[in-house]
Structure 1
Amino acid sequence: MKMFRDWVDRGYVIPLKMLKVTLNALPPLIKALVKHPIYIAKSNREADENPPTYGKPSYEIPEYEPGMKYCKSNEKYLRPTHLCNPHAKEIIALANKLGAYQVD
């Protein structure tokens, strides 16, 4: 039971309210898919032909240097975000540039 509680705290399990909203949205979505499959196929084809273009970000990611500090904490508000790799070199370099691990 403790392991399940940890999963809920870390956000691995979908909250009950969000699950209800998702399940309530499924019947109309399935109805639209069954009733209008051609429109869905056309819109998917259009999305493949015209992929979105993204501009250059307004910041620069610094170079990673060996020896930079990274997050090893498992405390509730200090642990890494779910589905974000905290050991990626870009994440570590940007965190150090923004002043992480510096005590005021």
Structure 2
Amino acid sequence: MKLEGEAKLLRIFIGESDRHGGRPLYEAIVLEARKRGLSGASVFKGFMGFGAHSRIHSAKVLQLSEDLPVMVEIVDTEEKIRGFLPVLDGMVREGLVTLEKVEVIRYQSR
């Protein structure tokens, strides 16, 4: 089965060491998104980056970083994504959130 249409892409840029409720923040976000019935979430770990403080975080062997960049992506309807934003307000202390309009082509078995 093939489902198509317009949706919103929510991207959350945080640090690997960020925490919420005693667990990694990225994990807490994914679990909360699942609990609230969002379509799905994926977490990506970066090799290098910098954020608001302009400090480089890198996965180079000679320059070990304990706070690599992490990005959480969630795609769902605009209504569900916007409903999730207040939840993020209570979870993310420092980071960046972006929203984009996307076209979805989803393949799903019957």
| TM class by smaller structure | under 0.3
Which structure is richer in relative contact order (CA contacts within 8 A, separation 6 or more)?
2
Bigger Rg, which one: 1
Q: TM-score, normalised by structure 2?
A: 0.21
Q: TM-score, normalised by structure 1?
A: 0.21
Name the structure with the higher strand share.
2
